[in-house]
Structure formats: C-alpha cells, structure tokens
C-alpha cells in the first residue's frame, strides 16, 4: 500500500534534507541517479543519445 503524505517545509529545511539524502548514499548510487535523470530528461526535452559522447583531441608539441 502506498502512503500519501504532504509535508510542509521551507527552503532551508528542504535543502538540508536533500543534502542529508545525497550524503547518505554511495558515490556509485549518486552517479546511477544522475544518469537516470539525464536519460529521462533527454527523452522529454530532445532526442538525446543514451550515452555521453567520447571525444579525444590529439595535439603535437613543437
């Protein structure tokens, strides 16, 4: 069963809650969440590749 609740808060409390959440998870979990958000936003905003493009630039020293 899903519990539906409404929480009234201010910006400072929300910011602290967000920071507490992000600090409670591992760096790998953070990257997974960011990647999921990037993919989801790309689906709605514009056609976006599933992965980041890899770019390499080769230069020669004189």
- In degrees, rounded to 5, the angle at the alpha carbon of residue 8 between the alpha carbons of residues 24 and 5 is 75
Q: What is the pLDDT of residues 37-56, one digit of tens each?
A: 888 877 766 665 556 667 77
Taking all residues of the chain, what is their mean pLDDT, rounded to a whole number? 84
- CA atoms of 34 and 28, how far apart (whole Å): 10
In this predicted model, which residue has the larger pLDDT, 7 or 22? 22
Residue 29 is predicted with a pLDDT of: 95
């Amino acid at each position: 069963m899903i519990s539906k609740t409404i929480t009234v808060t201010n910006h400072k409390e929300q910011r602290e809650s967000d920071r507490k959440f992000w600090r409670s998870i591992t760096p790998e979990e953070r990257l997974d969440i960011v990647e999921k958000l990037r993919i989801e936003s790309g689906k709605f905003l514009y056609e976006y590749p599933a992965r980041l493009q890899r770019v390499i630039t080769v230069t020669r020293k004189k």
